[in-house]
Structure 1
Amino acid sequence: MLLGLAAVALVPGCAGPVQVTAAPEGSSDACADVLALLPAELAGQPERETRGAGTAAWGDPAVLLRCGEEPVLASTQPCVSVPGGGEDVDWVVLASDDSGSIVRTFGRDPSVEVEVPATYGPAPVAVLPDLAEAVAAVPATAVCTG
């Protein structure tokens, strides 16, 4: 199963906090800057409470965000540049299948990882433009070349 960043405790009729494992640098000042700029709504879904430093979630099933991952500076995985918030943000597609996609920022330290369930569309690009302004709080040191 592709989607694996979080385990959501489901209680009938209640959407509780989302348990998301914090990334190694999730408590960094850079991640605090990213979290402060995240939208209250993503893909038409409200933000949800999370457990884990440097994390955020929206909707049910949850779109998950983890700030503080190791930076991606080289990859053979597909890399896409997504405009938004006045700055393009490069994302590496780490995994993609029928259950959803996992992408991580390219050339930013710390890196931001986003897990998007397939219910939000065939590609994570539908939600990434709305995250660009927040993610751009971490300066780019490299860009995708192809």
Structure 2
Amino acid sequence: MRTRGARLSAGVACLGLVLVACGKEPVSIPTLRLSAADQAVCQRLVNALPDHVADQSRRKTQPAAALGGAWGDPAIVAQCGVPVPAGFTRTAGCTTADGVGWYLPDDQFRDNSSDIVISTVGYRPILQVTVPARYRPNGLAAAMVELAPMVKQYTKLVKPCH
């Protein structure tokens, strides 16, 4: 039989866990100007984002209507509706994960100690994901695979990126 002190200790421990989880600041995601159609697509994609990416739990974002999601600390950040990345060219290579082509900048890909920004350049609107170096290499692969279903379901393939 549990004593009152044991129940109180367990309750304090649970409250402590809740306060630690709530203590993280929301992750800021820039607001982008999108067409009404892209805004609607991105909102559906964001509403479908998973609770976990690369074994990291979802975090709050700001502003509340941000078209993206964040997981973990440091945060893996996804944002919908971004422009084509500056370094992307027609001859740039992509990595395919679960049927979705992701553009990975060569300089970032080769340096496992740097954060990497990946983008679904063959889809519209484009989903961009920033993966902190801490999660590489497994977190990078997990993010691509775990977010691919939302990309395929909610965005439009305009030109495959291989």
Structure-1-length-normalised TM-score: 0.77
Superposed CA RMSD in Å reads 2.2
Partner of 2:68: 55
Deviation track 1:8-52 (CA, whole Å, cap 9, x = no partner) reads: xxxxx6311011213343970010111121111111111101114
Where do 1:59-138 residues align within 5 Å? 59-71=72-84, 74-83=89-98, 88-94=99-105, 96=108, 97=111, 98-122=113-137, 124-136=140-152, 137-138=154-155
Partner of 2:158: 141
Instruction: Please list every run of 5 or more consecutive structure 1 residues that lacks an aligned counterpart in the other structure.
Output: 1-12
How far the C-alpha of 1:139 sits from its partner, in A, is 1.6
Instruction: Please list every run of 5 or more consecutive structure 2 residues that lacks an aligned counterpart in the other structure.
Output: 1-19
Give the structure with the higher percent strand. Answer: 1
More moved, 59-68 vs 118-127 = 118-127
More moved, 30-39 vs 17-26 = 17-26
The 1-side partners of 2:100 and 2:131 are apart by 17
> Could you tell me which of 33, 43, 46 is aligned with 2:44?
33
More moved, 117-126 vs 58-67 = 117-126
Deviation track 1:75-129 (CA, whole Å, cap 9, x = no partner) reads: 443311111xxxx111111361322210010211110100001111236223210
More moved, 68-77 vs 102-111 = 68-77
The 2-side partners of 1:24 and 1:104 are apart by 18
Does the aligned pair in 1 maintain the 2:122–2:157 contact within 8 Å?
A: yes
Does the aligned pair in 1 maintain the 2:29–2:67 contact within 8 Å?
A: no
Give the structure with the higher percent helix. Answer: 2
| Aligned residue pair count | 129
Q: 1:106 to 1:134 in 2, by over 3 A?
A: same
The 1-side partners of 2:71 and 2:81 are apart by 18
Structure-2-length-normalised TM-score: 0.70
More moved, 103-112 vs 15-24 = 15-24
